[in-house]
Structure 1
Amino acid sequence: MPKKKKKSLSPQQKKYQQLVKKMEPKPPIIRNALMAFLFGGTVCIIGQFITDFYMVTMDLSKTQAGNPAIATMIFIGALLTGIGVFDKIAKYAGAGLSVPVTGFANSIVSSALEFKREGLVLGVGSKMFILAGSIITFGVVTAFFIGLYYAIFIY
């Protein structure tokens, strides 16, 4: 595929581009990184507290307590999205909330809420996994092939 030549800009267009670049607001990178670190760390601390809670109350090992703890974090993220709190917190937290499993729950519930007026089946049910469907599919397919490899070559 041949490369396209960029059209050269006129002096007036170059001057305008420089003006736009100068007037463009600079994002507060350090503040955003700090907030993401603090909120992401808080989510991790809450997740560890929930894991420890399940270990003590249900007498589970650390590995066994991880699954209900993740399910609880997904539930909390979905609940906060459903009542409209998650997005308000995410304005300040940035990637600190969108990267952990709570962000996954938010993407599913947000899609479902967006289409709820179309009905439970055609709206909520079919549109719920628009964003998260590819992640779930990738996880299931990858787990299948890893399990198959394990069954054939290792077990």
Structure 2
Amino acid sequence: MNEEYLAYVHENAPKTKQLKTLIPAFLVGGTICSIGQIVSDLLKMWTSLDKEGIGAATSVILIFLGSLFTGLGLYDRLGRIAGGGSIVPITGFANSIVSPAMEFNQEGVIFGISAKMFVIAGPIIVLGVSASVVVGLIYMIFL
């Protein structure tokens, strides 16, 4: 029974055109990362920030741009074209926070924006913090 079902699913599932989706994802993701590198290089030339400061400032600028493009409705269009290439960089993380906040804006600041802002990104943040605590404890105990 299970083998019949798997054969049915394999036969009737829509076929993805991997090359057609791979190329835009690669190009858009690479372009976003290249923009980040350009921002980093410009900050290195124009400011007296150290390496960590440049990294933090670059992240803030990319998060701002991702949030701005989400607010203007451009990031969702880009995501339809690029797929995973637009969600992997830090701008995709910004999009995952701003998009639900915009969607639930009509429900008010508390029950709309504040309650729903981290619907997508919240589990990722919790997992990251939890993993950091575990690794930190292991490091502290054994090293």
Q: Same fold (TM over 0.5)?
A: yes
Question: 2:17 aligned to 10, 28, 47, which one?
Answer: 28
Instruction: Using structure 2 for the length normalisation, give the TM-score.
Output: 0.84
1:91 aligns with 2:65: no
Gaps of 5+ in 1: 1-5, 10-16
Gaps of 5+ in 2: none
Question: Which residue is equivalent to 1:130?
Answer: 119
Question: Which residue is equivalent to 1:72?
Answer: 61
CA distance in 1, matches of 2:140, 2:53: 22
Q: Is the 8 A contact 1:51 1:62 kept in 2?
A: no
Aligned pair in 2 of structure 1 residues 58, 113: CA closer, same or farther (>3 Å)? Answer: same
Give the total of aligned pairs: 141
Question: Which residue is equivalent to 2:135?
Answer: 146
Listed one character per residue, the Cα deviations across residues 81-106 of structure 1 (whole Å, up to 9, x for unaligned) are 11111111222111111111111111
Give the structure with the larger helix fraction: 2
Instruction: Using structure 1 for the length normalisation, give the TM-score.
Output: 0.78
Listed one character per residue, the Cα deviations across residues 102-135 of structure 1 (whole Å, up to 9, x for unaligned) are 1111111111111111001110011000110011
1:43 aligns with 2:32: yes
Counterpart code for 1:146:
V
Question: Which residue is equivalent to 1:3?
Answer: none
CA-CA distance at 1:153 after TM superposition: 4.8
Counterpart code for 2:25:
A
CA distance in 2, matches of 1:35, 1:143: 33
CA-CA distance at 1:148 after TM superposition: 4.0
Question: Which residue is equivalent to 2:110?
Answer: 121
**Could you say which structure has the greater relative contact order, defined with CA pairs below 8 angstroms and 6 or more residues apart?**
2
Aligned pair in 2 of structure 1 residues 104, 8: CA closer, same or farther (>3 Å)? Answer: closer
Aligned pair in 2 of structure 1 residues 153, 86: CA closer, same or farther (>3 Å)? Answer: same
CA distance in 2, matches of 1:127, 1:141: 21
